[in-house]
Chains A and B, each alone.
Chain A
Amino acid sequence: MNPFTVVTSRAVSLPLDDIDTDQIIPARFLTATTREGMGSHLFADLRKRVGFPLNAPEARGTAILVAGNNFGCGSSREHASWALMGSGFRAVVSSSFADIFRSNAMKNGILPVAIGAGTLARLHRTIGEAPDTAITVDLERQTISWPGGSEEFTIDAFAKQCLLHGVDELGYLLRHEGVITLYEAHRARGGAS
């Protein structure tokens, strides 16, 4: 996993609530058996629409997606995170995230930045008026800032350390082999199930 420390980039504004993972990557692209190549399917159906913000020239090369409330609801497909990552996105900003999307994103080096609804609305306006605005997401300090605004965000302390150091959780779990074996033995003896 790529570490996440500080990312500064222009951002794409996608001011829609409840963007579900079927929109992020439609199901017909889920027959793949690898993680590669998902970036080209990001928002595949929405991209066909005239005026879709990701089609704008200034959207090219951006690493931050600013969405509406409740980003990533619906299906558990991690392909949504692979598609965002594959398109160069490192942070998604919203006022709230669906639980499974949030978990998947952080396991792939994508930072979900949850800020207040008022700040989010201001940020959308700022990007709408000045698409070149540079936005900085600093994970260590847990801040998002841009000329004219900034806000702190919260993040699970454990997930933060994993992201900062690019560590995946599997290694941590495997180091607990001993206690897992003890637990299984306890259960086999008729302990709590």
Chain B
Amino acid sequence: MSGRTLLDRIWESHCVSQEPGAPALLYIDLHLVHEVTSPQAFSVLRDRGLQVRRPERTVATVDHSIPTDPGGVSSAEPMAAEQIRTLERNSRDFGITLYGDGDARRGIVHIIGPELGLTHPGMTIVCGDSHTATHGAFGALAFGIGTTEVGHVLATQCLLQRKPHTYEVRIDGRLANGVTAKDVILKLLSTIGVSGGTGSVFEYTGSTIRSMTMEERMTICNMSIEGGARAGMIAPDDVTFEYLAGRPAAPQGTDFADAVSRWRELKTDADARYDASVSLNAADIEPMITYGTNPGMGMPITASVPDPVRFREESQRRSFDQALGYMGLSPGQPLLGHKVDVVFIGSCTNSRISDLRLAARVMRGRKVPAGLRVLVVPGSHGVKRAAEAEGLDTVFQNAGAEWREPGCSMCIAMNGDRLEQGQYAVSTSNRNFEGRQGPGARTFLASPLTAAAAAVTGAITDVRTLTLHD
């Protein structure tokens, strides 16, 4: 018998029951809740007279709808304000901890889970949000669910699930200068496409992953869903344990040492088999940028927009033509030097302190050109305070960028932060779908380094041509 994978271990320890022919009842350790995908789930609980089974395993925050100006909910549009108030009511009525408007711990749900130490190795974690995959960086099984399932977890702390397939993504070698975790995941997506991982959970392995910080690992796992995989995971190691030590919701004292000895068991055996695998050589990866309207349409920043003749299927060609038409680009066109209107540095992919430090290394002492709008949106109040303690806010503001309050902001454009029709943005977020950053908005996804390079030049720029500050 072959060995067990990390997924096997977490799955087996959380399987409450498994009736023949039915999906498993999977126990959920941590349920993260936000304002957009929860109201209808709480309504079901009210209609059916149900309580939240484990309020202590449920944590709520507001991130998607909340404005990123200092007014918070008071400056929100009426429907967004009502949605935020609804979560406040639901949290109060059902006894759930809410890091709401005005709370010093508030932030994007996938930023604050790790930051507060709520995310632990070996956990099952869900949220009505597809970027829940982020938490897999700690060796947790973490995935996004729909609102009906949010209701299931609120009421029963369980989900009905079929076990996904396993898919090893192995990355070995050293990343070159100017190449970040974001470029690695964009490279993977351009290799396997946006449906390559459907039905699977990615497990990221290899020396490149092992040498990454937790924040870099989170950037990678975050975009697993853009490859079709509901979850991405990385076996925990000393980097993981060091990150967690001392965080408010992490085990404390001797409990932490006990937890670490359990967490060390969370790995894939050498003789275990994955259902699929792909490997990348880190040294081959260049700074990446997307040219199309899904995150799989990416290329090295020095490359030219590909030619659709490479697609065999007519529907693929049609989708590709539509994408280039929407983006206003042509096959064979290089993107270097392409003018942009807005730069967005933020989102659950790239709004942690290390992302802001990268951007500051490019922007320090440089100026945002006239007519360009640059938003820097920290992922949480914790990130914001840390950045301000280092003076990063001054770096961004001196350059001419906007330093805003935490939230999802222009990644999803439902809080008032959005592009105008036809505008181009370089964005550190995770989706370049049509209309994602506003109706008619056109998005180039890239790393914080590449976004910052665009912020100080007004155009798509290879960050390797700029001098970086320490």
Contacts and interface: CB of A to CB of B under 8 A. Distances in A.
User: Does B bind A?
Assistant: yes
Interface of A: 15-18, 20, 22-23, 26-28, 30-35, 45-46, 68-70, 73-78, 81, 96-100, 103-104, 107-108, 117, 121, 124, 156-158, 168-170, 172-174, 176-177, 179-180, 183-184, 187, 192-193
Contacts of B156: 170, 173-174, 176-177, 180
B420 interface: no
Nearest to B126: A76
Nearest to A108: B148
Interface stretch (B36-44, B95-103, B351-359, B389-397): B36-44
B65 A31 contact: yes
Interface stretch (B139-147, B342-350, B376-384): B139-147
Interface centre among A45, A46, A73, by most chain B C-beta atoms within 10 angstroms, is: A73
B218 interface: no
Interface centre among A28, A103, A157, A172, by most chain B C-beta atoms within 10 angstroms, is: A28
B195 A27 contact: no
B180 to A, nearest CB: 23
Contacts of B431: 20, 22, 74-75
Given A15-B318, A18-B294, A179-B16, A170 B198 contact: no
B25 A173 contact: yes
B157 A158 contact: no
A104 B413 contact: no
A34 B316 CA distance: 36
Contacts of A98: 195, 198, 228
Contacts of A177: 156
A18 B194 contact: yes
Interface size bucket, B side? 35 or more
Given A70-B198, A73-B294, A177-B156, A103 B315 contact: no
Interface of B: 12-13, 16-17, 21-23, 25, 27, 29, 36-37, 39-40, 43-44, 48, 50, 53, 64-65, 77, 79-80, 82-83, 86, 122, 128-130, 144-149, 151-152, 155-158, 160, 162, 164, 194-195, 198-199, 225-226, 228, 230, 262, 294, 296, 313-316, 318-319, 322, 412-414, 431, 433-436, 439-440
B144 to A, nearest CB: 4
Contacts of A103: 145-146, 149
Contact of B158 (A35, A75, A176, A193): A176
Given A18-B319, A193-B13, A193-B122, 13 more contacts: A18-B194, A20-B294, A22-B434, A26-B439, A31-B65, A32-B39, A45-B440, A97-B198, A99-B198, A104-B147, A158-B23, A176-B158, A183-B17
Given A28-B414, A35-B40, A45-B434, A70 B130 contact: no
Contacts of B50: 174
A20 B228 CA distance: 11
23 contacts: A18-B319, A22-B434, A22-B435, A26-B439, A28-B413, A32-B83, A33-B86, A34-B40, A45-B435, A45-B439, A69-B315, A70-B228, A75-B129, A76-B128, A76-B130, A81-B146, A98-B228, A99-B199, A100-B130, A103-B149, A107-B148, A156-B162, A180-B16
Contact of B315 (A17, A73, A179): A17
Given A76-B37, A157-B21, A174-B155, A121 B79 contact: no
A93 B25 CA distance: 29
A76 B129 contact: yes
Contact of B433 (A15, A74, A100, A104): A74
Nearest to B144: A76
Nearest to A80: B146
Interface centre among A22, A158, A172, by most chain B C-beta atoms within 10 angstroms, is: A22
Contact of B414 (A17, A27, A45, A174): A27
A15 B315 contact: yes
Given A22-B435, A121-B314, A34 B158 contact: no
